[in-house]
């Protein structure tokens, strides 16, 4: 991360950081070995932590910025099927709030996006939903009648990183077509 921040200095510094790395693996909690849990915590939580810290150190020197963390709707409610994933994304949510409190006085805003069903390799390969017989059932639960796209997530991140959101800090933006708040 430090190398990435140093490289960004050549282009004017870091004023926005989007912590977008994330992984998901299906699990059998009672039979789970620690590899799945450790992998999800390392990528989803530690990656966000170290990315945020590297960016924040640069942003303090530059008089502010915006950090956007990708969590998940699964980090809001939990699920008996995806315990490690929910725990890791819940940790990202609470880390976001804590960092918003810590870094707000430094003019650094920290917010989280909680995507729901988004068509990515996670929902076409890791846990196949799109392109399967189950897709219609999932889409039927979403009030907007469609799954999300990577572009939907990018637009939300652009908003949170922009001056249009200059008073938005330590906040969660649920991006799921209305599913979480209407079920």
Active-site amino acid positions:
85
State residue 70 phi and psi, 5-degree precision: -90, 115
CA distance 39 to 172: 24
């Amino acid at each position: 991360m430090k190398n990435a921040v140093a490289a960004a200095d050549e282009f004017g510094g870091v004023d926005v950081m989007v912590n977008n790395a994330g992984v998901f693996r299906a699990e059998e909690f009672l039979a789970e070995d620690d590899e799945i849990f450790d992998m999800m915590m390392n990528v989803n939580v530690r990656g966000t932590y170290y990315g945020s810290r590297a960016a924040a150190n640069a942003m303090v020197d530059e008089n502010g910025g915006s950090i956007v963390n990708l969590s998940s709707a699964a980090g809001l409610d939990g699920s008996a099927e995806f315990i490690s994933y929910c725990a890791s994304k819940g940790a990202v949510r609470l880390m976001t709030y804590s960092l918003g409190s810590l870094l707000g006085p430094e003019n650094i805003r920290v917010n989280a996006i909680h995507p729901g069903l988004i068509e990515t390799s996670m929902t076409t390969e890791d846990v196949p939903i799109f392109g399967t017989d189950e897709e219609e059932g999932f889409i039927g639960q979403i009030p907007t009648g469609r799954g999300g796209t990577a572009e939907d997530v990018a637009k939300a991140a652009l908003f949170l990183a922009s001056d249009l959101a200059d008073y938005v800090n330590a906040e969660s933006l649920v991006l799921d077509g209305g599913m979480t708040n209407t079920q």
